[in-house]
Structure 1
Amino acid sequence: MAGISTKTVHEIFRTMEYGSSSTNTATTAQSWLEKHSRTLGFFVDGTFSSPADRQTLDVTDSKSAVVCSTVCAKDEDVMSAVSSAARGFTTWRELSCYQRAKVLLKLASVLQRHSQCVSELCELSQSSTSPTVLIRLAQYYASWAQLRDTLMPEWTPHGVVVVSDDCSVYFLMLKVLPALSMGNSVIVVPGKTSALPALLLAQLFMEAGIPAGVLNVVTGSEVSLAAKLAQNPQVNYLTYCGCKQTGEAVAKAVAGWGVPMSFSLSQSSVCPFIIFDSADLDSAVDGVIELAFKKKRDFQWVLCVQESVLDSVVARLKLRMAGMKCVSLVTETDRNLIDVVVQEAQQQGATLIQSCPPPSTGGLYPPTVLCGLAPSCESVISPPPGPVLPLMSFRSSAEGVTLGNHSPHGQAASIWTEDLTLALESAKSLCLGSVWVNCHSVMDPALPICGRRESGNCTDGGREGLYQFLRPSLSPSLPRSSPSSINYAAFGSVASKFMIPEGFDPSSVPRFYPQLVSGQLRKADSGCSRSVLAPGGAVLAHCPDGGRKDVRNAVEAATKVQPGWMKKSPATRSQSIYSLADSLDKRRRDLAVSIQTQTSISFEEAEKEVELSISRLSDWAARCDKEQGGTPFPPQSGSALSTPEALGVLGVILPSSKPLLSLVSLLGAAVAMGNAVVMVPSEKYPLPALEFIQVLQASDIPAGLVSIITGSRDQLTQALANHSVIQSIWYWGSKEGCQFLQYSCINPLKRLWLHCEEEEEEAAGRNWSSSNPSLQEELWRKAVVWKSIWIPTA
């Protein structure tokens, strides 16, 4: 028939031409910027202010054109923002849960109404975030604001919270909204790319009806500005999201000011993209192309492919990358970094897959895959910015998991396989916070995002992420004061001084108590000992003066036994802790005598402490198989799991108050959740802990899982802080010790739970005898880390 084409569908698609690309003028965002004369100041106490005598920073778009400028805050601006936030907190806290939830729900509708402006401004700032996900965040945390008093009645907000962010707007709001929903006021210190959206969102919060001062935005250098804000005595908490270098600078600047800090260092995290031979290779390669070659990525990725399908994956990559255009880099200096990394990889035997030859100069670079790399290659350990993807191969699925755990970071992973059993086993074995099965970068506030190792020490999202912005009503906070003058390099290095105390009787030989290291009774590696004194000054006993080598031996043993203990079923761990409680019951008189002798309390009080200790261990034994994760219902199709996991090896510097009860409370929480622990008894009252060693040896607790090392508190604190395997430190001690840990435990990064014992004693401190649910809940949450697993079904 005339007029009928004989072309096939394939030929039609090959000969089709692209239409003219629409030009995104971002008229709504440009209009908003023009209204503010393209110079945006601070948002404090519900209004914009732009002092005339301030330095400014230019904000540029993807083409390096200046969009507008922001103002750099001075000291008086910091004071103004903190004062406003303190007043706002008082107003916000007095509102009912329903009233706070109503504001956040209205924010969702306001965001929907102004979604075009939000989207365009995020695009201009090179911080692309869909307004839809921000609306979902507002709706989700509005419901938590409604339920706070019902589901968390024994918890109270911190007060004024500083949120410093150098990531995307989504991660910024993932901290701001839960902080507000729990009743805190917030001061935002945005990074360069999130400054404009943060200021616009602050204005939209006011339109939603949030009281003035509850949300403030102050711009400038995020390092110095966040530190200045946190040093103000009215600020109660600091959380940072961004890169490792900036986070480390913030931590060192704020150390010693008595402000709890948490860090989400996702921007510098290296994440594995693992393709098993059972994967749908076409879908997996599509995921690689979509994920790896974007201009701005949330994480750095490394591709790991099973050897049996390596050639097929490489062939598909070459086919998909053919003809792809160069990607613009964030800055032209990134080009120099890429050239150095690519040249070094080629010298080490890597082969290149590139979509086209790279231009000789400029801020453009083609999508590139570096094939045949070793795990020790610099481009694998620290991938360069830009569209460069390192590729490694592995033989077995177990080797693939090992390769996925090779990085010191622990943010996320994407694994591709059609074998559900392999997917779940691999997800469980990866030491990471989020695992996506046959997908990538899927996020929802219902599931926690939890950094492991060098990727962070806090949890965002889900119910679990709310607790960083709360504290138990009965739990004391860190005292606020100026930092002490400390030589961090020399902290804990002063050798113990042995002295014969007054009242020493040479005719009597006090008993020598060994310490417990690696499951064995041992003297200190140094061979030195120290005297244990009665309240009157008489020598009660001698104990080892442990040091760095003893800590190293204890951690080495704990590292070997902890994975096996963690893999035991909760019911098995429960029975072992019940056996520990039973062993303590059999030696209750000996423990009561040691408590009475050491602390000079009455024998009846000492017996009561032992009885409470037995009951507390039984509590933790009972909770072993009761604390479980959940299966949230995200709006996307598919299934999701949220599970608590053990941290690993913990260091615990024990308090002096209730020396036995505090020991078993902290020990029970740690081992019940699958951790190993290295404990340092109080220098003042070490005897109950040393007597407890006999109880441990008579129980079913595996040898090496618990070590008890006596000695100088500062020296042992320094050894624990500098050990890379220790994942968390619980500390009761001096103000100087708290300051040292905040300064030192950012590299390597650790989770800290700090208590200034002298200040707590004056303020009545933690009531170890209390059975308040929030206190045990706090202990449990300090002993676990959360993992989210996404499994798509459509």
Structure 2
Amino acid sequence: MAGSTSKTVHDIFHSMEYGPTSSSSATAQAWLESHSRALGLFIDGRFLNPADRQTRTLADTKGDHVCSVVCAVEEDVSQGVSSSAGGLRSWSALSCPQRAKVLLKWASTLGQYGQCVAELSDLSQASCSPASLVRLAQYYSSWAQLRDARLPHWSPRGVVEVVVSDDCPLYSLMLKVLPALAMGNAVIVVPGLSTAPSALLLAQLFTEAGLPAGVLNILTGSAVSLWAKVAHSPTVSSVTYSGNKQDGVALCKTTAGLGVAVSVSPAVGATCPFVVFESADIDSAVDGAIEAAFKKRKEIQWVLCVQESVLDSVVARLRLRMAGLKCVALASEADRSLVEAVVQGAQQQGATLIQSCGPPAMGLQYPATVLCGVAPSSPCVTSPPPWPLLPLMSFRSNTEGVALANHSPHGHAASIWTEDLTLALEAAKSLSVGSVWVNSHSVCDPSLPTSGHKDSGTCTDGGQEGLYQFLQPSSSCPSLSRSSPASLDYDKFGSAPSPAIVPTARCVCVATKFYQQFVGGKSCKSESGGSFAVQAPDGANVLAYCPDGGRKDVRNAVEAASKVQPGWMKKGPSARAQSLYSLAKGLEAKRPELAAAIRAQTGLSLDEADQEVELSVDRLTDWAARCTQAQGGAPAVPQVGSALSLPQALGVVGVILPDNKPLLSLVTLLGAAVAMGNAVVMVPSQRYPVPALTFIQVLQASDLPAGLVNIISGARDQLTVALANHNVIKAIWYWGSPEGCQYLQHTCTGPFKTLWLHSWGPGEDEACWAPTSASLLEETWHNAIQWRSIWIPTA
């Protein structure tokens, strides 16, 4: 036709751009206008907007005013907590099918108002697809229906506080709220500034769906002091957090000593590797990298790792694909200055730039930029660079590529690109991350459990495993009891010197024995050479002298454990089971000596002591049988392709044992940790250490690798401090004082450690070690593993 311009397929291919997207926000604007653009609180099923409260202003990407949000004060917190207590009673009175129907109706209502939800989340820079929220609701409604049948030994925690930071996406918020509701809890949400409007809208839709008043309350205001005020209420039983690490650390410190369980998912700002192997489809990999890093603002930062044999090809395609990209909007002038400083610093270190265009002289616009040739130690790699920067590093071998990807302190996710399925699976299992996407990125589904690895959190979200943060064992003793934080000097905790051993002229009526501890597969004295006296049950005589271990002993034990743990983890479940069966057989052979040690230490009758040894043998056999039970699976996901969920060992676990049942408690916790591939550093009861130190004879005769199990005796608080401050320790299981629990909650944040805390007094936990306590065994099993999801698309 006249005037038409013909284009070849080649021309069209090289000029392809993303099509125009609808930017209308009329529906969301109308909803905001209905609230006069002044959003209040949501308490007891209705909106409240007190007139005398401070407000925070929310702006869109262009700087235009979206709305104002009320900042809740203590009076609002009290009202919200009281409403949640009433809502919990109403919610608990419903049956599981009735709660499931409410969640399904909410999903239907969300579909009806999906456009408003999508527009409002885009306006507030907390973009979230309504379809993903509907999928969440449908998935967790099924768990609400099946809770009593599938989780018979568990009950809801009660009132749960869900906290997110200002930069957290809406999906992460609802990934906490919906499972908490599905398990029968009432929820108090403290959203960030960007998620507050969408959270209030979704709460309104919950009311329309028939959620009883008070079950879901929303208190806006992002200050850490508000989060702590809610947590201080005796009604609140647990706190779960999503967002950036800084706010997560602050939350842990302000809630330490309250006696509430705290779980954190600090994924925002995490650095995630994007690994391109030489066997990858280079065009698809480059398109995926550009989309992940530049097309849409994400809460995570990417680092591109490319194999040297295809580096030139990747760089050439990056230049070609980025030529047509527009500049992206930054949030503030401070972000612009930070971006320019990072780029200038990278260039001074020898990096070259690939940019879609030259940066404008001024304004809040900056081009998409790839920093080529940066070193792993470069600040733009170690500290997440601000959007839209993408560091690029190279590696030679496949093994080096995995090591480079594991260089990041974060363990949130990774994307690997290869057409070699064997390489993909091997790399996925070797990466220390919670999610691995093969030839894809940023895919998620609630059916897959994902745990935070390294410095990316202490809880598991998704799947059945993600439900346990909102549940507690029905029949076992509570882990923590509500209390007021003690006035604790964290720098001096555990620094009290051990009592001096002074010879006396008193007649010793019982034979005094000197014991040794167990480090690196060898019996040894403490590094200090000191000992402490253990009293006989009558309190009149010294029963034994035990090593007084300290920080150097913990260091040696952790070093030995970290060397042997990777090899032990790689052994198949059957091999680990056989080792535990052998350990149980060795324990049976030493039954008389161990029974005598328990009797001499605790004063129990010989029959009672012998029964504890018998239960310990049975417990080891149970753990051996369970070795092959936690195998993960391939959940059905709505996306095209396949997905795997795999249980993984935590690494090196520190265990501080209780006073009661000194042998049975040791065997129970040791068996669970070792069965799943962990190594352990165990601290026996300071009051009753003799049975644990006698058990060393069984370990010496076993076929467990040297260093897998280490036993260090000494002052509980001193060894707790040493374990808490060792970066290699991944988790701490603690039975001790409330002050010890408070110290661990306050201290174990850099990096985050998974904590399983018990502040029980004498005699309170004895029944929980009984053979009928199935809930304790199940809880122990879940605390011994973390989960990884692997996505493998087929199209």
Normalising by structure 1, we get a TM-score of 0.97
Match of 1:717 among 713, 717, 720: 720
Q: Which amino acid aligns with 1:585?
A: E
Partner of 1:170: 171
Does the alignment pair 1:555 with 2:536?
A: no
- CA displacement 1:87-114 (0-9 Å, x = unmatched): 1111111110000000000001000000
- CA displacement 1:350-405 (0-9 Å, x = unmatched): 11111111122322110001111111111111122111001110000000000111
For structure 1, which segment, 474-483 or 233-242, has the greater mean C-alpha deviation from structure 2 after superposition? 474-483
Q: Is the partner of 2:491 in helix, strand or coil?
A: helix
- 8 Å CA contact 2:416–2:439 kept in 1: the answer is yes
Does the alignment pair 1:132 with 2:139?
A: no
Partner of 1:496: 498
Partner of 2:408: 407
**How far apart, CA to CA, are the structure 1 residues paired with 2:123 and 2:767?**
50
Does the alignment pair 1:528 with 2:530?
A: yes
Q: Is the partner of 1:284 in helix, strand or coil?
A: helix
Does the alignment pair 1:54 with 2:53?
A: yes
Partner of 1:288: 289
- CA displacement 1:556-602 (0-9 Å, x = unmatched): 00010000000001111111111110110000010001111111111
Structure 1 pair 254/501, CA: closer, same or farther in 2 (3 Å)? farther
Match of 1:692 among 682, 695, 700: 695
**How far apart, CA to CA, are the structure 2 residues paired with 1:710 and 1:427?**
39
The correspondence of residues 245-324 of structure 1 with structure 2, limited to 5 A, is 245-324=246-325
**How far apart, CA to CA, are the structure 1 residues paired with 2:689 and 2:14?**
83
**How far apart, CA to CA, are the structure 1 residues paired with 2:189 and 2:505?**
59
Q: Is the partner of 1:767 in helix, strand or coil?
A: helix
- CA displacement 1:602-639 (0-9 Å, x = unmatched): 11010000000000000001111122101001001100
The correspondence of residues 154-193 of structure 1 with structure 2, limited to 5 A, is 154-166=153-165, 167-193=168-194
Match of 1:584 among 564, 584, 587: 587
Structure 1 pair 18/443, CA: closer, same or farther in 2 (3 Å)? closer
**How far apart, CA to CA, are the structure 2 residues paired with 1:34 and 1:70?**
14
Partner of 1:416: 417
Q: Which amino acid aligns with 2:203?
A: A
- 8 Å CA contact 1:383–1:389 kept in 2: the answer is no
- 8 Å CA contact 1:295–1:327 kept in 2: the answer is no
Q: Which amino acid aligns with 2:776?
A: L
**How far apart, CA to CA, are the structure 1 residues paired with 2:66 and 2:766?**
52
Q: CA RMSD in A?
A: 1.9
Q: Give the deviation of 1:506 after TM superposition.
A: 6.1
Partner of 2:483: 481
**How far apart, CA to CA, are the structure 1 residues paired with 2:415 and 2:495?**
44
Q: Is the partner of 1:385 in helix, strand or coil?
A: coil
For structure 1, which segment, 32-41 or 288-297, has the greater mean C-alpha deviation from structure 2 after superposition? 288-297
- 8 Å CA contact 1:41–1:49 kept in 2: the answer is yes
Q: Is the partner of 1:556 in helix, strand or coil?
A: helix
Q: Give the deviation of 1:236 after TM superposition.
A: 0.2
**How far apart, CA to CA, are the structure 1 residues paired with 2:329 and 2:694?**
66
- 8 Å CA contact 1:450–1:786 kept in 2: the answer is yes
- 8 Å CA contact 2:270–2:384 kept in 1: the answer is no
Structure 2: 5+ residue stretches without partners? none
- 8 Å CA contact 1:294–1:387 kept in 2: the answer is no
**How far apart, CA to CA, are the structure 1 residues paired with 2:19 and 2:732?**
59
Match of 1:569 among 569, 572, 581: 572
Q: Which amino acid aligns with 2:529?
A: G
Q: Which amino acid aligns with 2:701?
A: A
Structure 1 pair 531/764, CA: closer, same or farther in 2 (3 Å)? closer
Structure 1 pair 336/16, CA: closer, same or farther in 2 (3 Å)? closer
The correspondence of residues 25-104 of structure 1 with structure 2, limited to 5 A, is 25-104=24-103
**How far apart, CA to CA, are the structure 2 residues paired with 1:14 and 1:428?**
37
- 8 Å CA contact 1:504–1:539 kept in 2: the answer is no
Q: Give the deviation of 1:471 after TM superposition.
A: 1.0
Q: Is the partner of 1:360 in helix, strand or coil?
A: coil
**How far apart, CA to CA, are the structure 1 residues paired with 2:544 and 2:510?**
11
- 8 Å CA contact 1:295–1:387 kept in 2: the answer is no
**How far apart, CA to CA, are the structure 1 residues paired with 2:590 and 2:518?**
18
Partner of 1:109: 108
- CA displacement 1:154-178 (0-9 Å, x = unmatched): 1011000000012111111000000
For structure 1, which segment, 615-624 or 321-330, has the greater mean C-alpha deviation from structure 2 after superposition? 321-330
Structure 1 pair 141/527, CA: closer, same or farther in 2 (3 Å)? same
- 8 Å CA contact 1:103–1:208 kept in 2: the answer is yes
Match of 1:511 among 510, 513, 517: 513
For structure 1, which segment, 4-13 or 140-149, has the greater mean C-alpha deviation from structure 2 after superposition? 4-13
- CA displacement 1:629-653 (0-9 Å, x = unmatched): 0100100110000010000000000
Structure 1 pair 317/20, CA: closer, same or farther in 2 (3 Å)? closer
- CA displacement 1:647-686 (0-9 Å, x = unmatched): 0000000011111001000000000000000000000100
**How far apart, CA to CA, are the structure 2 residues paired with 1:394 and 1:18?**
31
Q: Give the deviation of 1:140 after TM superposition.
A: 0.5
Q: Give the deviation of 1:500 after TM superposition.
A: 4.6
**How far apart, CA to CA, are the structure 2 residues paired with 1:642 and 1:25?**
39
For structure 1, which segment, 18-27 or 292-301, has the greater mean C-alpha deviation from structure 2 after superposition? 18-27
**How far apart, CA to CA, are the structure 2 residues paired with 1:14 and 1:613?**
69
The correspondence of residues 267-666 of structure 1 with structure 2, limited to 5 A, is 267-477=268-478, 478-500=480-502, 504-505=506-507, 510-537=512-539, 538-666=541-669
Structure 1 pair 286/513, CA: closer, same or farther in 2 (3 Å)? same
Q: Is the partner of 2:758 in helix, strand or coil?
A: strand
- 8 Å CA contact 1:295–1:328 kept in 2: the answer is no
- 8 Å CA contact 1:44–1:213 kept in 2: the answer is yes
**How far apart, CA to CA, are the structure 2 residues paired with 1:199 and 1:6?**
51
**How far apart, CA to CA, are the structure 1 residues paired with 2:20 and 2:582?**
72
**How far apart, CA to CA, are the structure 2 residues paired with 1:503 and 1:199?**
75
- 8 Å CA contact 2:624–2:675 kept in 1: the answer is yes
Q: Give the deviation of 1:86 after TM superposition.
A: 1.0
Q: Is the partner of 2:376 in helix, strand or coil?
A: coil
For structure 1, which segment, 321-330 or 246-255, has the greater mean C-alpha deviation from structure 2 after superposition? 321-330
Normalising by structure 2, we get a TM-score of 0.97
- CA displacement 1:521-576 (0-9 Å, x = unmatched): 11110111101111222101101100000000000000100000000011111111
**How far apart, CA to CA, are the structure 2 residues paired with 1:124 and 1:6?**
38
**How far apart, CA to CA, are the structure 2 residues paired with 1:632 and 1:751?**
26
- 8 Å CA contact 2:732–2:755 kept in 1: the answer is yes
Structure 1 pair 41/5, CA: closer, same or farther in 2 (3 Å)? closer
**How far apart, CA to CA, are the structure 2 residues paired with 1:599 and 1:397?**
56
Q: Which amino acid aligns with 2:488?
A: I
Q: Which amino acid aligns with 2:134?
A: I
Q: Which amino acid aligns with 2:62?
A: K
**How far apart, CA to CA, are the structure 1 residues paired with 2:509 and 2:614?**
36
**How far apart, CA to CA, are the structure 2 residues paired with 1:420 and 1:11?**
32
Number of matched residues?
791
**How far apart, CA to CA, are the structure 2 residues paired with 1:744 and 1:94?**
39
- 8 Å CA contact 1:189–1:222 kept in 2: the answer is no
Q: Which amino acid aligns with 1:735?
A: P
Structure 1 pair 282/539, CA: closer, same or farther in 2 (3 Å)? same
Partner of 2:675: 672
Partner of 1:202: 203
**How far apart, CA to CA, are the structure 2 residues paired with 1:229 and 1:23?**
40
**How far apart, CA to CA, are the structure 1 residues paired with 2:792 and 2:623?**
32
Structure 1 pair 62/398, CA: closer, same or farther in 2 (3 Å)? same
- 8 Å CA contact 1:650–1:676 kept in 2: the answer is yes
**How far apart, CA to CA, are the structure 2 residues paired with 1:684 and 1:15?**
75
**How far apart, CA to CA, are the structure 2 residues paired with 1:11 and 1:629?**
47
Partner of 1:681: 684
For structure 1, which segment, 734-743 or 763-772, has the greater mean C-alpha deviation from structure 2 after superposition? 763-772
Structure 1 pair 159/314, CA: closer, same or farther in 2 (3 Å)? same
Structure 1 pair 111/249, CA: closer, same or farther in 2 (3 Å)? same
Q: Which amino acid aligns with 2:422?
A: T
